[in-house]
Amino acid sequence: MITKENVEVFKTIETPFYFYDVELLKQTLDIYKFQIDKYGYNAHYAMKANANDRILEIIKSYGLGADCVSGNEVKLAVKSGFAPEKIVYAGVGKSDKEIKAALNAGIFSFNCESIPEIKVINDFAGQLGKKAKISLRINPDIDAHTHKYISTGRKEDKFGISPWMFNDVADILIECHNLEFLGLHFHVGSQITDLSVFELTCRRVEELQKWFIERGMNVRNINLGGGLGVDYNEPNEHPIAQFEEYFSVINKNLIVRPGQKIHFEPGRAIVAQCGHLISRVLYVKVGQKKKFAILDAGMNDLIRPALYQAHHDIENLTSDGRKMRYDVVGPVCESSDRWGNNIMLNKAERGDIVALHTAGAYGQVMAMKYNQRDLAKAYYSDQM
């Protein structure tokens, strides 16, 4: 929550900047941890969602592992103190350098996405005298009913190994002596709010894992990835994701074999709501039919609206004037640099401080310097 005291401090800081509500992050993690412990599940935080030092430090203190998608993420996870034996590493395009670095770091699992990748990991493991632990990322052909750019589990998506490749994969694994097969990995998409998608995923997991078990392969681990969505429309009403309902759906629908371990890779649901992009109103431009509120935060600071047509709730923190309609836009020289059309906002004036909510996940970490703009800094509620 952004307090009145916070807003007083915001007035004194150069905008735009990210503000993280550390209390909310901790509350979210308390609830998340309670739920996974209840069922004996394991979690690896998807650090692609937010890799700020402080955020990583807090998440690590809750005992979560890390889910990485690049060599540099693996490096950062290790540097930040995540135990290598809790690091998983996915990605369709792992480079030679990245594979070798992850082998040397001794990570828990390479989540492999293709047959050629499996062979390359086997070769490098042999050269380094190591045994690489691998899981197979499976493409279960499920439509996650989310934005097409963040849908990853349909057969036309680039991710994972499809069932028609299973015979070849099983043959390759027999030949690869430097690999240890750990189990199966699934991640069907992100910002999934329809929990029936996870129900369906559990059913597919059962169908697919049977194939491997029937061939005598020991599926010791099932990793269900991330994907649980958050409420971008009413963040103040729903600051914490539906963890209880989510895990109850998984628990009811996933058939777990004796000794099998279940893993998750939450990203967005852990960090989205604790982050806000704080901006100033630079100008209010009055057109013939509409008013533009022009902010000093742009798509380079938070690209989600421009890239995925995502909605971020906008609040004028310093005005209690009558609500009016605005097209809220950023300063970047692109028409897609737009926070929302016809947004109801307390009457805006130059200098007002505005919050773009639910910006903790895939916000700062995707920021760029387009137009040679400065990268927004981060401030934390417990250090203000």
Torsion of CA 103, 107, 110, 111, to 10 degrees: -160
H-run or E-run covering 369:
none
List all residues 6 or more positions away from 15 whose beta carbon is below 8 Å from its beta carbon.
Answer: 278, 279, 280, 296, 297, 353
CB nearer ligand LLP, residue 67 or residue 98? 67
d(C-alpha 375, C-alpha 380), whole Å? 16
Spatial contact of 9 and 317, defined as CB atoms under 8 Å apart: no
DSSP 8-state class, residue 376: P
CB nearer ligand LLP, residue 67 or residue 352? 67
151 belongs to the binding site for ligand LLP (CB under 6 A): no
CB nearer ligand LLP, residue 132 or residue 150? 150
Strands, E, within the chain: which ranges?
17-20, 42-46, 65-68, 87-89, 109-112, 132-137, 179-185, 221-223, 261-264, 275-286, 291-295, 314-316, 323-329, 338-346, 353-356, 377-380
Among 181, 198, 339, 362, binds ligand LLP (CB under 6 A): 362
CB nearer ligand LLP, residue 228 or residue 281? 228
Among 90, 112, 188, 376, binds ligand LLP (CB under 6 A): 90
Backbone angles phi, psi at 45, to 5 degrees: -70, 130
Tell me the DSSP string of 181-235.
EEEEE---BSSB--THHHHHHHHHHHHHHHHHHHTT----EEE----B---SS-T
Among 46, 118, 161, 230, binds ligand LLP (CB under 6 A): 46
In the complex, what is the shortest distance from the CB of residue 283 to ligand LLP, in angstroms, rounded to a whole number?
Answer: 28
Torsion of CA 315, 316, 322, 323, to 10 degrees: -30
In the complex, what is the shortest distance from the CB of residue 199 to ligand LLP, in angstroms, rounded to a whole number?
Answer: 17
Q: How many residues bind ligand LLP (CB under 6 A)?
A: 23
Among 94, 133, 263, 268, binds ligand LLP (CB under 6 A): 268
In the complex, what is the shortest distance from the CB of residue 319 to ligand LLP, in angstroms, rounded to a whole number?
Answer: 29
266 belongs to the binding site for ligand LLP (CB under 6 A): yes
Picking from 118, 72, 74, 112, the residue whose alpha carbon sits closest to that of residue 90 is 112
d(C-alpha 371, C-alpha 344), whole Å? 29
Site map (CB under 6 A) of ligand LLP, residues 164-203, x = contact: -----------------------x--xx------------
What angle separates helix 115-127 from helix 96-105, to the nearest 10 degrees?
60
Residues 294-353 that bind ligand LLP (CB under 6 A): 304, 308
Residue nearest to ligand LLP (CB): 226
In the complex, what is the shortest distance from the CB of residue 362 to ligand LLP, in angstroms, rounded to a whole number?
Answer: 3
d(C-alpha 290, C-alpha 359), whole Å? 27
In the complex, what is the shortest distance from the CB of residue 250 to ligand LLP, in angstroms, rounded to a whole number?
Answer: 14
153 belongs to the binding site for ligand LLP (CB under 6 A): no
Residues 206-225 that bind ligand LLP (CB under 6 A): 225
CB nearer ligand LLP, residue 109 or residue 191? 191
263 belongs to the binding site for ligand LLP (CB under 6 A): no
360 belongs to the binding site for ligand LLP (CB under 6 A): no
226 belongs to the binding site for ligand LLP (CB under 6 A): yes
269 belongs to the binding site for ligand LLP (CB under 6 A): yes
d(C-alpha 19, C-alpha 12), whole Å? 14
**Where does this chain touch ligand LLP (CB under 6 A) — which range of 44-52, 164-172, 231-239, 335-343?**
44-52
Residues contributing to the site for ligand LLP (CB under 6 A): 46, 48-49, 67, 90, 150, 152, 187, 190-191, 225-228, 265-269, 304, 308, 361-362
